Amino acid sequence: MFRDPIVEEVRAIRDQFAARHNYDLDAIVRALKKASEESGRQVVSLPPRSAACEEVGRKAG
């Protein structure tokens, strides 16, 4: 099976991050939220798409 070095690198970084937080999901989420808030980037929420739009997209694709 093909081993993608980029995927392996991402998985290693993810594991290191989880290890720093003792694999505690609540601690991981808190750390990610804190980093998101400190980044200063604006979060954009888009309205949900209707089912009709999704059907058209599937037929066209």
Q: Where in the chain are the domains?
A: 1-40
Going by C-alpha positions, the residue among 32, 39, 6, 2 that lies closest to residue 17 is: 32
What pLDDT score does 59 carry?
A: 59
Residue 58 vs residues 15, 47, 50, 51, 61: alpha-carbon distances, Å: 36, 19, 13, 11, 5
Claim: this prediction has a pTM higher than 0.75:
no
* Distance of alpha carbon 13 from alpha carbon 11, whole angstroms: 5
Kindly report which listed range (5-9, 33-37, 57-61) carries the lowest average pLDDT score.
57-61
* Distance of alpha carbon 33 from alpha carbon 39, whole angstroms: 10
CA angle 46, 41, 6 (to 5 degrees): 90
Q: pLDDT digit string (tens) for 14-39? A: 999 999 999 999 999 999 999 999 99
